[in-house]
Structure 1
């Protein structure tokens, strides 16, 4: 089955302006113009973020959609894939954001626009716990691109979280996957973009 609809989910404090989101959008526009590509700005509330996504993909063909997520977006992508039964690509995915983001409660700034501020509220931790689909078998094929050089997340945890995924384990690299352009073709092949 080819993918005609592709969802991209950015990470914590990130946005559709992230390098990977823009590179993916440009790649799809140039090489797969028939594919519907959507990268929404996700609200800080995990519950609101997934409600926005669920509404946005409600009319998408379940047999021809896929999701890509980076960092916290990778955690969200696993939830979307589980509910939509679609293939997913995780880029240095957050494994336990309820644990890891507890220290970020309070006012935060956006990576791409430090003037933009938002509040990460204590109740968001419970919302993250409610979205955790660890322990469930994948609903569709998964690809995980994980950098051992990730300075934010533990690559061993990421690898252990996705035992059934097709794995691209990078010896070095970083959390941002600065070499993301090198992964566009493998992602395209894996998702069979139309």
Structure 2
């Protein structure tokens, strides 16, 4: 039974993302510790931030780059996780954003460089060892990430693939019951 739910936001996002806030409102009816840490742009530092929050009864919910992080943590610590339009190989996707960047949701300017890509590459799992711990929520209209890559990568996992939508996952609230059920939140 889950007692701590950690929502992991995506790249250039924050703890105030729409999905994090909406799911947090839904979590208010449950006896759980709902956490949405503000993650740094540094992948290994972000991972340390997340690892410090993990307890034996933690479950994860991650969107985009947060889905990538949730996948890694799920497999490393044996935690159930729901991934929403996840990045599968972010070190390839973010490569074209090397250089100066700005996160408007955190009001932070930073430099994205090769060492960030190397850090992300070090967290990549070529194969999911325990697919029963993961639940993919994917919309085919994702304009940011190639949905086919996620559907293939998570092929052995529980999946809910919806036609259309976009990277924000339109109608996210309609997935709450299945998320709660999968993560065993009571």
The TM-score bracket by the shorter chain reads: over 0.9
CA distance in 2, matches of 1:193, 1:136: 23
> 1:76 maps to what in 2?
69
> 2:7 maps to what in 1?
8
| TM-score, normalising length: structure 1 | 0.91
CA distance in 2, matches of 1:55, 1:4: 16
Q: Name which of 37, 51, 55 aligns with 2:52.
A: 55
> 1:36 maps to what in 2?
33
- Given that residues 140 and 162 in structure 2 are in contact (C-alpha distance below 8 angstroms), is that contact kept between their aligned partners in structure 1? yes
Give 1:95-174 correspondences, 5 Å limit.
Answer: 95-112=88-105, 115-138=107-130, 140-174=132-166
CA distance in 2, matches of 1:185, 1:110: 31
Q: Which runs of 4+ in 1 moved over 3 A?
A: none
- Given that residues 7 and 35 in structure 2 are in contact (C-alpha distance below 8 angstroms), is that contact kept between their aligned partners in structure 1? yes
Q: Does 1:20 align with 2:23?
A: no
Q: Match of 1:99, SS? A: helix
Unmatched tracts of structure 2, length 5 or more: none
1:35-93 Cα deviation digits (max 9, x unpaired): 01111111111011001111222xx12xx221111000000001110121011100000
Root-mean-square deviation (CA, aligned residues, Å) is 1.4
Number of aligned residue pairs: give it: 186
- Given that residues 142 and 164 in structure 1 are in contact (C-alpha distance below 8 angstroms), is that contact kept between their aligned partners in structure 2? no
